[in-house]
Structures are given as structure tokens and as C-alpha cells.
Amino acid sequence: EPASKFDPWYNQPNQPAWLASLNVSFWDPGVATQNSKLKSIQYIISANGVITSAYIVQAYGSTTYDTRWSLPWSTLMNGSNNVYVSANDMALNQVNNALFTFKKDVISPNYENKATGNMALFSTWYGLSNVPTWLTTIDVRFYDQGHSGLATLNYGVSNISSGLAWYVVSNSSRGSPTMDTPWTISWSVLTNGVNDIYVSINDVALNNRLSTVLFSIKKDITPPSYNSKEIPASPTFSKWYAKDPQLKFDVDFTDYGGSRLKDIYYTISNNATTNVFIVSTLSNNYNKTTLNADWKVSWNLLSEGVNDIGVSLNDYALNHVATDNLFTIRKDITSPTISSNVTAN
């Protein structure tokens, strides 16, 4: 048999057909009419400290044996199987020969997920201001108990917007029974939204293991946005008010990055040069994608004079956006005074 047949590792779907037709010849030397002839031939398998054997032929009684014979797949063990043959003649002379080593692995590699010890890591939204440093120390370990050793290790990132893509964990563990070294998930391959993480493992015998979702990474690098439908040049904003005009404002807020709106504020800057800056909460821990309801500015927070109104908002990934002046509210609650120099008689 050519040596190339014995180099690969074989698994269950890849059982070699040649095992059913081994071409090994046996004979009893000497003059054909004067030797005792072959009596029995058997194969012997040594693997993992266990020895098994079975007869190829018994009570044969002929000088040569050229019939092809089979080595049942089921008799081979996981690991390296050293295959021998043993032949006896009628005089009980015996010969043993090593034939080849057959490598079998029908056990899929596996993994151990130790990365979920701190579940708070996976409930947090991450943005550009808080890129997770723990992405460089992912503790998911790999092992192969079928003896062929690990081959390819990949992690998958699945996102509803971008589908499933695969990336290399390590190329340095081929043939090794384990890979315990912490590895890295690249921040750049994660997309906005919830990224589900998988692993896929092949061993050298091409057995595969595909994990379920190991954990999820929440990424949002898109700042929230606002859409003001107010017209700064409107008479509403050039008019002076002595009492609360009960105005409502149409400025909508949206978060497109996935983490949702968290804190929404309106800001009040009075008379510009005085640097008076008041922040009032429009919504705390809002936890929704949009806020479209019209809203009011508290009359009591406005100072006398020109009040420039802006907005400031954050999402749960700590992305921030703010604007200084969307419109103006003019407040004057001080009555005019009269000064007279006329003296009564």
C-alpha cells in the first residue's frame, strides 16, 4: 500500500474505501510439496495501550494467501492505530510484521466558555469613548480529545444588519490538543447594534464544532440626532413675553446607532455674554429610539432678557451631541417706571 494513504487523519464521514481491500500477500517459503503450509493469519491492532486482534483466515492449508482482506472501521480506535499481521504455518512457526499506522478521529473538538464570568460586560453599550479593553483577552478555550489535534479556530460575528462573518482566532495551534491562550475580537469587525459571538472549530481530521451564541457585544458609535422643525425667524421668537406663553416646541430626537436615547436636555443661555447656562432635563434614562412629542421650556428657568434655547443629548453608548441655539425666548417681567420732575402746588 502506498505510504500516502496513511498520512491523513480519517473521520466518520471520510472512512477510506481501501480499508475494505487491503493488498498484503502471505506465503510459506520452501518447496511447495515439502513445507507445512500456512495455517492461520490474523491482524493485530495496538492503540492507546489496548491490543485487539482478529483472524483473516484459519485452517488455511495452502502455501500462499493473496486474497484481499478488510480491516473493519469499527475495530479501529480513536488515535494512532498500529496495525500488524501475524502468520502461522502448520508446524506452528510464526512471523509478525508491522504494516502501517492508521490515524482515526471521530470526536469533534470542543470549547469551554469562561468569558461570561462578568455578565455586566455584555449588557453595557460601547462607543468611541469607552471601547472595551477586554476584547483583547477573550477567555474561550479550545480542546480536541480525538487525538488528531486542533486545526482551524474561528470566531463568528452575527449582526442583524450585516449578517454572519467569520474571523481567525489563531493559526498557531495546529496539531495541539488544547488552546488556552486568551485571544482578541477586533473592535473594527463589530457593527452598530448587538453583535452575537460564535466559535467554529475544526480538528486535523476535519471534525467540526459550531457553538451556540457565546455572548453578545453591544456597539454604537453613531451619535444621537435631533430635528428641529422650529423656524428661528418666526414671530414667536422675536416677541417679548411678560408671562408664560405656554409655548410647545417641535424638536424631535432619534438614535440610529442601536443603544437608544438615554438623556435629553434643553439648554438655556441668557444674554450670551453673561455665560449663564442652565440645563433642564427633558428626559432621563429614556431608553427608546425616538422622542417625537412636543415639549415645553420651564418659564421659571428663563431669565429676563434674551434666552437662547439649545438641546443636548446622550445615548446609552455615551455618544453625545449638542447645539447652542435653536430658537429664542424673550422674557421681560419688569414693569416700566415713570420718573417725573413736576412738583405739585
pLDDT at 30: 64
How far, in Å, CA of 268 to CA of 309, rounded?
A: 5
pLDDT at 292: 93
pLDDT band at 147, cuts 50/70/90? Answer: very high
pLDDT at 280: 77
Q: What are phi and psi of 298, to 5 degrees?
A: -65, 120
Q: Of the candidates 150, 146, 161, 160, which has an alpha carbon nearest to the alpha carbon of residue 199?
A: 150
Looking at the predicted structure, is the pLDDT value of residue 275 above 60? no
pLDDT at 162: 86
The count of other CB atoms within 10 Å of the CB of residue 328 is 16
User: End-to-end CA distance of the chain, in Å?
Assistant: 139
Q: Of the candidates 141, 266, 295, 305, which has an alpha carbon nearest to the alpha carbon of residue 214?
A: 141
* Helix residue spans in 74-138 (DSSP H): 120-123
**Per mean pLDDT, which range of 1-5, 170-174, 229-233, 309-313 is the poorest?**
1-5
Tens-place pLDDT, residues 92-111: 899 999 999 999 999 999 99
How large a percentage of the chain has pLDDT more than 70?
A: 95
Query: Hey, what's the torsion of the CAs at 142, 147, 152, 154, to 10 degrees?
Result: -20
Q: Which residue reads 498557531 in cell numbers?
A: 172
Tens-place pLDDT, residues 32-41: 566 789 999 9
What's this model's pTM, rounded to 2 decimal places?
0.83
pLDDT at 31: 63
